[in-house]
C-alpha cells in the first residue's frame, strides 16, 4: 500500500464504544503526516544530493581518466624524446668519429708526404754532395795541373838558366 499525504489525512477510524480518542488519533495522524512530509522532503533532498554526488563522481572519473591519458601521453612523449636524444647522440658520435677518422687519415697522408719530402731532400743533398765533391776534385786536379805546369815552367826556366847557351 502506497502512503500519500492525502490518504493519511483523510484516513478516518470508526468509532466504537470504548474506542480510541478521536483527538489523539487525529493528533497522531497529523504528526505522522508532518513526519511523512519531512521524510519526503529529506528523501528528495537526499536524491538531489545523490544526483549531485554522482555527477561530481562522474566528473572526477573523467578527470582521472584525463589525467591518466595525460600521464600516458607524457610517458610516451618522454620515451620518444629519450629515443630521439639517443639517436641524435649516436649520430653526433658517428659524425665525430668520421671527422676524427678523416683527420687521422689526413695526418697520416701528411706524415707520409713529409717522409717522402725528407727522403727527396736527402737524395738531393746526396746528389749535391756528390757534385760538390766532384767539383772540388776537378778544381783540385786543375790546381795540381797548374802547379805541375808552374813547377814545370819554373824547372824549364831554371834549366834554361843553368844550361849554357850554345
C-alpha cell, 47? 536524491
Q: Which of 3-17, 24-38, 40-54, 85-99 has the lowest mean pLDDT?
A: 3-17
- Residue 10 covered by a domain: no
- Residue 74 covered by a domain: yes
Condensed to tens digits (0 to 9), the pLDDT of residues 80-101 reads 999 999 999 999 999 999 999 9
Total domain count for the chain? Answer: 1
- Residue 47 covered by a domain: yes
Q: Which residues of 95-110 are buried (b: 16+ CB within 10 A; e: fewer)?
A: eeeeeeeeeeeeeeee
Q: In angstroms, what CA-CA distances link 126 with 10, 123, 139?
A: 143, 5, 20
- Residue 127 covered by a domain: yes
- Residue 142 covered by a domain: yes
CA–CA distance, 41 with 33 (Å, rounded to integer): 12
Q: How confident is the model at residue 67 (pLDDT cuts 50, 70, 90)?
A: very high
pLDDT of residue 163: 65
pTM of the model: 0.44
| pLDDT average, residue stretch 37-54 | 96
Nearest to 29 by CA among 47, 45, 6: 6
- Residue 117 covered by a domain: yes
- Residue 78 covered by a domain: yes
- Residue 1 covered by a domain: no
Q: How confident is the model at residue 23 (pLDDT cuts 50, 70, 90)?
A: confident
Q: Which of 17-21, 97-101, 159-163 has the lowest mean pLDDT?
A: 159-163
CA–CA distance, 105 with 60 (Å, rounded to integer): 66
Sign of CA dihedral 31, 35, 40, 44: positive
CA–CA distance, 158 with 76 (Å, rounded to integer): 119
User: CA 83, 85, 87: angle at the middle one, nearest 5?
Assistant: 70
Question: Range of 95's domain?
Answer: 21-162
Amino acid at each position: 500500500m502506497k502512503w500519500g499525504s492525502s490518504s493519511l489525512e483523510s484516513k478516518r477510524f470508526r468509532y466504537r464504544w470504548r474506542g480510541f480518542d478521536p483527538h489523539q488519533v487525529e493528533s497522531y495522524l497529523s504528526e505522522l503526516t508532518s513526519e511523512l512530509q519531512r521524510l519526503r522532503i529529506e528523501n528528495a533532498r537526499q536524491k538531489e544530493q545523490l544526483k549531485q554526488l554522482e555527477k561530481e563522481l562522474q566528473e572526477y572519473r573523467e578527470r582521472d581518466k584525463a589525467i591518466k591519458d595525460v600521464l600516458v601521453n607524457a610517458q610516451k612523449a618522454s620515451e620518444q624524446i629519450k629515443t630521439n636524444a639517443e639517436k641524435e647522440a649516436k649520430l653526433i658520435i658517428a659524425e665525430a668519429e668520421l671527422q676524427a677518422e678523416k683527420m687521422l687519415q689526413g695526418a697520416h697522408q701528411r706524415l707520409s708526404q713529409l717522409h717522402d719530402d725528407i727522403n727527396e731532400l736527402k737524395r738531393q743533398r746526396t746528389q749535391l754532395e756528390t757534385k760538390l765533391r766532384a767539383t772540388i776534385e776537378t778544381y783540385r786536379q786543375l790546381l795540381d795541373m797548374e802547379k805541375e805546369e808552374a813547377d814545370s815552367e819554373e824547372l824549364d826556366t831554371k834549366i834554361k838558366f843553368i844550361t849554357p847557351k850554345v
